[in-house]
A and B are shown apart, each in its own frame.
Chain A
Amino acid sequence: MTRTLALSTFVLLAAVAGVLLMLTRLDGLSTRATPSAAERMTARAARRWAAPSSARAARNPVAFSPDVWAQARAHFADHCATCHANDGSGRTEIGQSLYPKAPDMRLPDTQRLTDGELYWIIANGVRLTGMPAWGDGGPNDVETWKLVHFVRHLSELTTEQISEMKGLNPKTPEEIKEEQEDLQFLNGSDVDVSSGDGSHHQHKETP
């Protein structure tokens, strides 16, 4: 009886695996895909589970102030916004092409994490995702704690602050040239928009 059950289970699982393998061969394993609900649930659980309990309870030793807020914005714009976007939405070319996608950190899934968990994730990264480990990995990296403040205050970002952050995002020489042309155009100088499709450009960063 036990043997029959084991054999049936084996055949069933083999059949499911065969179908899935066939589907995989048809569609491939592109990171453009949207993770399934089961994967999202697993990834979120793993993110919480990754931080040891001692790290979860850690409190931010850096007091929040306008200076800290400005420094954190500049740091985030330079190091993090390429994937996470200046507003933390994750809506960037790279962020949305990762698997899993960069999360919208303004939403409860991220905001529910403790300061210690946020710190741990920044300092240690998240395995099997695009999130690398930053800083020295120790528990007292001041710059990382400032980034925790940044994540906590995402909902307070103003249009001016996001605009200011855009100026601090890493850029290719082509993007710098395009920005200069935009500015010239907005200020009234003629930029060559009549030749070809000069009025439409690819622009990497969303917010």
Chain B
Amino acid sequence: MKHLTLIVAAILIAGASLVAHGDNDHVRGTVSAVSAQSITLQITAKTTTVLTVTPKTTFTKSGKAARLADLKVGDRVVVDVPKGTKEAEEIQIGVSATTAKPSK
């Protein structure tokens, strides 16, 4: 009886529901529009994506903290986006696409 109670207690403790977790998406692109709530990125010549900017979004430029105000149309960015969302978690700001050099 005592053993059975222990087994049942263990089974009760083991009960739980499923939740999904996973990697971040890592998005490279050039900023084609920027507002306080979102940024639009040109990913390829024909592809754009809109990502949400939240109060939790962090910005860096050359390894130092930056702000949304530092982000300009034409800037190259690399954005970390939690999988399954469109929320920009971290935005690394690079040079402006106009100063970018095409590879040889």
Query: A residues engaging B (CB < 8 A)?
Result: 6, 9-10, 13-14, 16-17, 20-21, 23-24, 27, 29-30, 32-36, 38-39, 42, 93, 96-97, 158-160, 162-164, 178, 182, 185-191, 193-194, 198-207
Contacts and interface: CB of A to CB of B under 8 A. Distances in A.
> By CB atoms of chain A within 10 A, which of B47, B78, B89, B102 has the most?
B78
Interface in B37-94: 43-45, 47, 58-60, 63-65, 76-78, 80, 82, 89-90, 92-94
Contacts of A188: 76, 94-95, 99-101
A200 B100 contact: no
B63 A160 contact: yes
Contacts, number: 139
Contacts of B77: 186
A29 B102 CA distance: 51
Nearest to A185: B28
B58 A200 contact: no
Contacts of B16: 33-36, 39
Interface residues of B, number: 50
Contacts of A39: 13-14, 16
> By CB atoms of chain A within 10 A, which of B16, B20, B22 has the most?
B16
Given A93-B23, A206-B89, 19 more contacts: A10-B4, A14-B4, A17-B11, A21-B11, A30-B18, A32-B21, A33-B17, A33-B18, A34-B16, A35-B16, A36-B16, A159-B60, A182-B92, A186-B78, A194-B45, A199-B27, A202-B24, A203-B26, A205-B24
A158 B58 CA distance: 11
A13 B20 contact: no
B19 A32 contact: yes
B19 A34 contact: yes
A16 B7 CA distance: 11
A21 B8 CA distance: 10
B36 interface: no
A178 B26 contact: yes
B1 A6 contact: yes
A163 B66 CA distance: 12
A198 B80 CA distance: 15
B21 A93 contact: yes
Nearest to B61: A186
Contact of A190 (B14, B80, B89, B102): B102
Contacts of A17: 4, 7-8, 11
A146 to B, nearest CB: 24
Contacts of B1: 6, 9-10
